Amino acid sequence: MSAADRELTDAELRNLHAYHDGELDWLSRWWWGRRIARSQRLRHELEQLTELGDWIRESESERNPELWDRIAMRLPAIDSARAENSGAEPGLVPESLDQSPGWLENWTGFRPILAAVATAAVAVVVALGTIGDVPGQRPGAVRWLDTGGRSVIVLDNPEAATIVWVLENPVEGV
């Protein structure tokens, strides 16, 4: 069985889902972006995930409205998380480069340059002391919230606590 035909491992599927959902840190996302660009199998899986998400958004299924509504309601949060991470991608390999699988191996003349760039990148990271930190990001961040239409107060203190308080509105005559 060739590398293109083999089934994806559980770890690969998990990471692919995380990549699709925008849940990977910027470095992992960059790494998986490269792998996906070079692997037709991974790209196919990613396309299927995207199509499934699109179908769910467009779906007006009546088979289990509660279930599909709950899934569909979470998708905007995934989209926003993906949008957050997409701006931090440092070097996603463009699709044009996947025309020749193994392009890196064929570019032997660029290998020393690539090694030098990678070394410099490591030096920069070590000097800065951070990997993946994005200025302005805070702990305790609410990424998605659904209170079923009720009003809610969100008090986010990154130094101590996050408070989410639902204001229950009594409904009469229903």
Q: In terms of Cα–Cα distance, which of 82, 85, 92 is closest to 53?
A: 82
User: What is the C-alpha to C-alpha distance for residues 98 and 36, in angstroms, rounded to an integer?
Assistant: 9
Identify the CA nearest to 40 among candidates 1, 6, 90: 6
Q: Which amino acid is at 60?
A: E
Q: Tell the smallest beta-carbon distance from residue 106 to other proteins (Å).
A: 11
What's the DSSP call for residue 135?
T
Listed ranges 35-43, 51-59, 60-68, 139-147: which one lies at the site for other proteins (CB under 8 A): 139-147
Residue 95 is a binding residue for other proteins (CB under 8 A):
no
Under rule CB under 8 A, residue 4 binds other proteins = no
Residue closer to other proteins by CB (options 44, 73) is 73
Q: What is the 3-state secondary structure (H, E, C) of 35-66?
A: HHHHCHHHHHHHHHHHHHHHHHHHCCCCCCHH
Which of 4, 52, 67, 163 lies at the binding interface for other proteins (CB under 8 A)? 163
106 touches other proteins (CB under 8 A): no
Tell which residue, 167, 116, 107, 160, has the closest CA to residue 138: 160
Q: Is 160 in the site for other proteins (CB under 8 A)?
A: yes
Contact range with other proteins by CB under 8 A, out of 43-51, 53-61, 91-99, 134-142: 134-142
86 sits near other proteins (criterion: CB under 8 A): no
13 Cβ neighbours under 8 A, 6+ residues apart: 45
Nearer to other proteins by Cβ, of 65 and 140: the residue is 140
Residues near other proteins, by CB under 8 A: 18, 23-25, 27-28, 31, 70, 74, 77, 108, 111-112, 114-115, 118-119, 121-122, 125, 131-134, 137-148, 150, 152, 155, 157-158, 160-168
